[in-house]
Chain A
Amino acid sequence: MNAPISITGFGIICAIGNDASQVLESLRNGRSGIGQMKYLESKHSDLPVGEVKLSNEEMKSMLGVTAPGQVSRTSLMGAIAVRQALAHAGITDISGKRVVLISGTTVGGMDLTERYYLQMKAGKPHPDIPHGNECGKSTDEIAELAGLGGVETCTVSTACSSALNSIILGAEMIDNGEADIVIAGGSESLSKYHLNGFNTLMILDSKPCRPFDDTRTGLNLGEGAAFVVLERDSPESMAYVTGYGNRCDAFHQTASSENGEGAYLAMKDAMEMAGLKSGDIQYVNAHGTGTPNNDASESQALKRIFGDSMPEVSSTKSFTGHTTSASGSIETVICLLAMQNDFTPANLGWKKQADGLITPTSGTTGIRLDNIVCNSFGFGGNDSSLVISRNRPETKSGHKDAFSSRTAACETVDSADMLADLKEFISPMESRRMGKLMKAAHLAAFRALKDAGISCPDAIVTATSRGMLDISMQFLEDIASNDEEHLKPTLFMLSTHNTISSAIAIRTGCHGYNITYSHGDESAHWAMRDAGRLIRTGKAGSVLVVSFDEMLPVFAGNPDAEEAESVFAKALVLVRN
């Protein structure tokens, strides 16, 4: 990196506290926030969850929102955390500064969309959310509610690693001189949509989760938001981002590989970037969801990285629940609290050693933490790791603007009639689950790769405003009409915004950088900007960029108009000159 990347403030709201001091107290006292559902209305109220202990109305009043009307819980929690982060960093005047807010989310305003879906379908949408409430809109709402209206905003959507990838993007932007202040993190509300989705995958525990324990049977969902403030080599630094890695497991949409390849590569990249060896890390905040698969796979990756010098490891999802897209920033803030207060958080619920798995810490006090690794993994094997350090790092003058790029190929698919051509690349058996949009994106991507003569790109960057709208609507429809029963796991698995980037990674065997932007009409702009940066800074020699969207009559505000249905995908391959 070109200069130290300082963390100058942070904010957090989650099941164990509405601000950093409450979260710290809960962590120190071993007090979990997982319990009975109170604010989410679901038939599956027997499932324990980690809810923020505030109603939407209470959050609105905390933010001073007096106007009546519906605001997504994702936006409310996000705005609370952003405000805290700005105050913590002592930022009051941003005039003349290039400020960027980056939020990671997948659910976005789904809490509202699902509540008013049937009205939208009937052609009588709620006036506050006429076309649903997608990810990019929730970030803009956060900016507005936090007093940052008008600043540049961006939304990253890589499922459960979204918020960590936001922080990585923020660090890259600071490092490359693209911004003076970046507020990066994520926010995610609980929704019926993803509670039911995870339930169809049979990875929810009906009891409080027990990460890494032999008797673990799954995760508990949580919600919350957290943001960090990043600045270039600030005298007010409380810690530094010294390394990061984003890699793809390229194995399965909803499961991790046995040897944890993606997780291993992400941690390896992050530690190499920070110039640290295994003995230099004192604590790892694991992804540790509590599912049999994640904890086994992550344990293998940790053992491959750390060998005999395993640092203390814990999963704080035993406190907060799995806060999905927000987990990366919530856990980064927990790491910062641990570093500042010389302790490691416990891994609650762990009792019985599991064969082949790591042994998590029960919490230590009076321990100096100089370097911490924070892991965050998402569906599609989107695996990211961050290193935060207490001391100001040495920096070498680096890679700035070292390479130029050119477009090696570009392909567009803009009609459903073209989709039959996909069989040149993918057999009907293999494409049987894909909707039209996924087929269009794959066709454009594989044609572009073929034109460019590249079988496996170094990185994959995708952009979508609304993601898998058709698939998401089918799942919403099933939730509404089947009373949250007998839902199709395939629909949920395919409905995350990064499904396509992961599916292409799995098919091409690409373990490289993998990210998805979901920020309205600016999604493709952010994707191209990232691809250009990857080439320029020498991090990739070839990048596949795929932009895709579809529209459906219900979401176009015209449920009866057939002509409102459309599908579009454009793929290009950017290469180093």
Chain B
Amino acid sequence: MEDLILTLKQQIIDALNLEGVTPEDIDDDAPLFGDGLGLDSIDALEIIVILDKYYGIKLANASEGKAIFKSIGSIADYIEKHRTK
């Protein structure tokens, strides 16, 4: 799980162009959207691409992401349960 979290953080940093942010800067349980890291709806779509590309998880619509993308920890939990690759 720790490996997954580290990999996921790096994938998100790369996909979202979070220049100057390191995996250590992102708290596993901190909110990603709004007051937390400050991500927005386009970032959510980028995370949906990460799920599909690296973990074989396809979300049917963007609104499903809301519950899953609360924090890095919640995304990692979802990946553990649903990954197909």
Contact = CB atoms under 8 A, between A and B. Distances in A.
A488 interface: yes
Contact of A432 (B17, B45, B49, B61): B17
A489 B48 CA distance: 10
A252 B44 CA distance: 14
Contacts of A428: 19-20
B46 A489 contact: yes
A428 B20 CA distance: 9
Contact of B19 (A252, A253, A255, A432): A432
Contact of B53 (A217, A254, A433, A486): A486
B52 interface: yes
B17 A493 contact: no
Nearest to A433: B17
Nearest to A487: B49
A202 interface: yes
Interface string A197-218: 0001110000000000000010
A201 B45 contact: yes
B4 interface: no
A488 B62 contact: no
A198 to B, nearest CB: 12
Contact of B62 (A202, A252, A432, A485): A202
A486 B49 contact: yes
Prevailing SS type, chain A contact patch = loop
Contacts of B20: 428
A202 B16 contact: no
B30 interface: no
B20 to A, nearest CB: 7
Contacts of A254: 42
Interface residues of B, number: 17
Contacts of B41: 252, 255
Interface in A484-535: 485-490, 493
Contact of B16 (A200, A252, A432): A432
Interface string B26-58: 000000000000100110011011001100000
Contacts of A217: 61
Chain A CB within 10 Å, residue with most, of B15, B45, B46: B45
Contacts of B62: 202
Nearest to A201: B45
Interface in A407-440: 428-429, 432-433
A336 B18 CA distance: 50
B46 A202 contact: no
Nearest to B50: A486
Contacts of A432: 16-19
A488 to B, nearest CB: 6
Contact of B48 (A202, A255, A433, A485): A202
B76 to A, nearest CB: 20
Nearest to B54: A486
A200 B16 CA distance: 15
Contact of A489 (B19, B38, B42, B61): B42
Interface string A171-201: 0000000000000000000000000000011
A104 B16 CA distance: 32
B19 A490 contact: no
Contacts of A485: 52-53
A433 B39 CA distance: 12
B48 A493 contact: no
Contacts of A433: 17, 42
A569 B55 CA distance: 41
List 10 A-B pairs, minimum CB-CB distance, nearest first: A489-B45, A486-B53, A432-B17, A202-B62, A486-B49, A428-B19, A490-B42, A432-B19, A493-B42, A433-B17
Interface of A: 200-202, 217, 252-255, 428-429, 432-433, 485-490, 493
25 contacts: A200-B45, A200-B49, A201-B45, A202-B45, A202-B48, A202-B61, A202-B62, A253-B42, A255-B41, A428-B19, A429-B18, A429-B38, A432-B16, A432-B17, A432-B18, A432-B19, A433-B17, A433-B42, A485-B52, A485-B53, A486-B53, A488-B46, A489-B46, A490-B42, A490-B46
